[in-house]
Amino acid sequence: MRTDDDLLAGAGPGLLDQLMAVALRNKALVIIGLVLVVAIGMRSASQLPIDAVPDVTNVQVQVLTDSPGLSPLEIERFVTWPVETAMSGLPRTEEVRSLSRFGLSVVTVVFEEGTDLWWARQVVSERLGNAREAIPDGYGEPEIGPPSTGLGEIFQFEVRAAEDAAGRYSLMDLRDVLEWRIAPRLRSVPGVVEVNTFGGELRTYQVEIRPERLAAHELVLADVFEALAHNNLTVGGGYLQRGREQVLVRGTALLEDLDDVGRVVVATTDEGTPITIDALGAVRFAPLIRQGAVTRDGRGEAVIGIAMMGFGENARVVSEALGEAVEGLRPSLPEGVEIDVFYDRTTLIERTIHTVQENLLEGGLLVVAVLLLLLGNFRGGLVVAAAIPLSMLFAFTGMVACGLSGNLMSLGAIDFGLIVDGAVVMVDNIVRVIGQRRARDEPVTDATILGAAREVARPVAFAVGIIILVYLPVLALTGIEGKMFRPMALTVVFALAGSLLLALVAVPVLSSLFLRGARESETWLMRGAHRLYAPALARVLSRPHLTAAAAVVAFLASLGLAPFLGAVFVPKLDEGSIALQIIRPPSVSLEESIRQATAVETALLEAFPDEVSTVISRTGRAEIATDPMGVDFSDVYVMLQPRSAWTRGADQASLVAAMDAELRGRVPGVNFAFSQPIELRVNELIEGVRSD
């Protein structure tokens, strides 16, 4: 009589046969391996970066040069051209493109896919020295932009005066609070590379010189410039030996307030009387010339902060950390100043994760229910169902190893029906063989399990392998298409590879442990299906030519329907907010743009009080111009109420149509383009609308 070990030893020369034989011979090791898969998978799931959609930003480095007062022609000739020339010939560069606007030059260096971002920033930084030498004095200093991406704006908030402090703080005061108290603290949050200040007025010291006074003292403006430059510094004077002590000597002449500036001596008269700035004019605080502004809810200008996430960071973790940092800052703010967060990517991420989790859970439960109904064996159904979470954990591990993020595209592509295919076939055949042996009163051994598994191992491997091969062309995509769809394909491949390994290794072992007493039984559902299927199969087999012709006709008919399906590049995600672009003639002034944006906000809040919670308009660009819009463009963020509170519009598409009609009637002379915040940025990255 041959023992189980003898039968296992004679499993056959095939790799799959030997793999299953080794697994059945070492059940304890397989169980330990499953425990490790669970442990590593759960750890990977906790480390998996989560975002709403894939980031399609290419590897690029921006060089920004702020040159206040210069026209686009001067910017192009004296700033942009030297920077572009310095960047030409960099290794692994795909293209160098530029944008010259009033007071601003933006040169974007795009590198090949796979280039390390920090290496790219290093080589660009090395070339900036040549660019600085070629730019004339006073035309600005080129600097590298923050290492963020097109989807890096994950957290936005307003700094405003509380209702009981209305009128106490000016836009300039609020801007100071944001720049000197809030922004430095938020920049220290891990994963944040910049906190951009937008709106309000940047405080400057303005010296107004009276020309007649200047002429009366026989002075020129150059004398004033030189005096101000030489009187706002600190110098060292070495040290003095005084007894047993050493005393440091320093000269301090830093200007701290308006009076200090007014007391700066420009020259002296022949009698030795000092001629100060106050004698030549007046000193006051004034806002810096700006090319952008923020308005909110039709109540006028506002001051906002935009936290930008670094390249490759976990959006959910960074957003949550920013929220905690803001809460910690509130008690330290000046009395009457408050922070109002109006955009937090965490909200969208949590809603997206909830949707994906809900769909996956419902799909998993449906698959398990169908398995139990069709297999007719409760334990067998549980063995098959175990492949779902184990394959998911296997996929999470692969995603973390490859640096992928979990999002709507990658996680939403997982199909539980595909995952359990191999396990279903394996368990069904094992249960059938065990039931037949028990019906003949023959013992069920590991050799029985191995024999049943061998019968279907190759078909299972081929079936899952073919499905994996279908996704290989997607892995060959490059550019934006690759960034969008390769994570999806890799996630599915990881899940299928895990399901195949489980079907060939874990399912035979689990069947040996839990299904030895299984009996073959046919459920009422399968009996009913057989009664319908057997006669139908007999009829089509008796008429092969007619069956083939019908199949060809059905195939051609399906091809005819294909043009009517429609197509989109990516699935549309309901972000819970609307992004509205206002497009005006290029010659419009900032003041007129602010007036129109305020009118749009008022119109939306008055016409849609139950649908709109708040409206924020960003016109032009901030001082750190990573988004170099002109004053003829405004991005309007319309934050929506929960869908249950809506009284107009059954869905977001109908609401957008109603808003478009309302705005065109109330705000004439401008064009509107509706989108969503993330969708807008993705479209700009794909089409290059704003920067190119």
Q: What is the pLDDT of residues 77-113, one digit of tens each?
A: 999 999 999 998 899 998 898 888 888 899 999 998 8
More confident residue, 520 or 563: 563
- pLDDT exceeding 90 applies to what percent of the chain? 31
Q: 3-class SS at 247?
A: strand
Q: What is the pLDDT of residues 588-622, one digit of tens each?
A: 999 999 999 999 999 999 999 999 999 999 998 88
Asked if the model's pLDDT at residue 690 lies above 60, the reply is: no
Average confidence (pLDDT) over 259-268: 89
- pLDDT at position 39: 95
d(CA 242, CA 108): 58
Go through the domains of the chain in sequence order and give each one's CATH number. 4-47+377-521 (1.20.1640.10), 205-287 (3.30.2090.10), 577-687 (3.30.70.1430)
Asked if the model's pLDDT at residue 406 lies above 70, the reply is: yes
For residue 452, the cross-strand partners are none
Q: What is the 3-state secondary structure (H, E, C) of 114-172?
A: CCCHHHHHHHHHHHHHHHHHHCCCCCCCCEECCCEEEEEEEEEEEEEECHHHCCCCCHH
Closest by CA to 431, choosing from 369, 528, 510, 367, is 510
The sign one gets for the Cα dihedral 646, 648, 654, 658 is: negative
- pLDDT at position 691: 37
What contacts 24+ positions apart, CB below 8 Å, involve 19-26? 19/504, 19/505, 20/450, 20/453, 20/454, 20/457, 20/504, 20/505, 20/508, 21/450, 23/504, 23/505, 23/506, 23/508, 23/509, 24/446, 24/449, 24/450, 24/508, 24/509, 24/512, 25/446
Q: What is the pLDDT of residues 187-210, one digit of tens each?
A: 999 999 889 899 888 888 899 999
In this prediction the pTM is 0.80
More confident residue, 648 or 548: 548
- pLDDT at position 536: 87
Asked if the model's pLDDT at residue 269 lies above 80, the reply is: yes
Length of the chain: 692
Question: Apex CA 615: angle with CA 574 and CA 295, to 5°?
Answer: 140
More confident residue, 33 or 359: 33
- pLDDT exceeding 70 applies to what percent of the chain? 94
Q: What is the mean pLDDT of the chain?
A: 86
- pLDDT at position 1: 45
Q: What is the pLDDT of residues 209-251, one digit of tens each?
A: 999 998 888 889 999 998 888 888 888 888 888 888 999 998 8
Average confidence (pLDDT) over 34-54: 88
